[in-house]
Amino acid sequence: MVASLKNRIALVTGASRGIGAAVAKRFAKEGAHVILVARTQGALEALHDEIVAAGSTATIVAMDLRDHNKIDELGAQIAQRFGKLDVLVGNAAILGDLTPLAHADSKMWDNVISINLTANWRLIRSLDPLLKASDAGRAMFVTSGVAGYARAYWGPYSASKAALEMLVNTYALEVEQTSVKVNLIDPAVVRTNMRASAMPGEDPLTLPHPDSITDIFVKLASPEFAENGRRFNVSKT
């Protein structure tokens, strides 16, 4: 089988575990050089070693996406080393506390908005020139079902994902005359630490493993993929 992402440069945020790690490994298997972005150095090193052992390549970037100036520095570093970015996966997110809005802690709110929304805007701002330098720049951002409807106690997370969808759809319109394609992916219910935090009484073994949903990420990352400004739900693809 021909590697569909051979020689592509792909950046994945939240790459140390869950969906991010699964997508990073799959991209590497498909031939991409993957830039692994997350806060936890040790987890990134373990993932890097796994990717290299499988015969692929990766670069570790241990950083906190709340440090937005570091995102600008990341763009400069990618430009200097690679001169372009072929694929961006904005996956990193935090749940925050499930609590009534009137009781929500302001620091928690700020953290959720900073990581789930503002960091993705900063990624767009920093990496847009590099995506346009690619012959087929592809960007995808991970959203959630609760972006589309109100759910009691989920206010900060839901608001951040609803805003993310508007942000991404706006960016998609702004690049529609370029070779860049920008889309959203709703992974639905997946076996992740975030899901376990939200639903502690649920048996995680009854849920799909993150490895099982990576096909859609590869599809949207492919240079041949031509759709823009769409929202893909894994359970419906």
Strand, coil or helix: 182 = strand
Count, in order, helices (H) and strands (E) of the chain.
8, 7
pLDDT digits (tens, 9 = 90+) for 126-178: 999 999 999 999 999 999 988 998 899 989 999 999 999 999 999 999 999 99
Instruction: Let me know if residue 1 belongs to a domain.
Output: no
Instruction: Let me know if residue 80 belongs to a domain.
Output: yes
Q: In this model, does residue 205 exceed pLDDT 80?
A: no
The catalytic residue positions are 157
Instruction: Let me know if residue 4 belongs to a domain.
Output: no
Task: For residue 233, give the H/E element and its range.
Answer: strand 231-233
Q: In this model, does residue 237 exceed pLDDT 60?
A: no
Instruction: Let me know if residue 2 belongs to a domain.
Output: no
Q: In this model, does residue 16 exceed pLDDT 80?
A: yes
Q: In this predicted structure, what is the pLDDT of residue 88?
A: 98
Computed over every residue of the chain, the mean pLDDT equals 92
pLDDT digits (tens, 9 = 90+) for 212-226: 999 999 999 999 999
Q: In this model, does residue 203 exceed pLDDT 80?
A: no
Q: In this model, does residue 2 exceed pLDDT 80?
A: no
Q: What is the pTM of this model?
A: 0.94
Instruction: Let me know if residue 3 belongs to a domain.
Output: no
Return the CATH number at 154: 3.40.50.720
- Count CA atoms within 13 Å of residue 228 on its CB side: 19
Q: In this predicted structure, what is the pLDDT of residue 165?
A: 98
Structural domain boundaries enclosing 188: 9-236
**Spatial contact of 51 and 103, defined as CB atoms under 8 Å apart:** no
Instruction: Let me know if residue 194 belongs to a domain.
Output: yes
Domain count across the chain: 1
Q: In this predicted structure, what is the pLDDT of residue 1?
A: 42
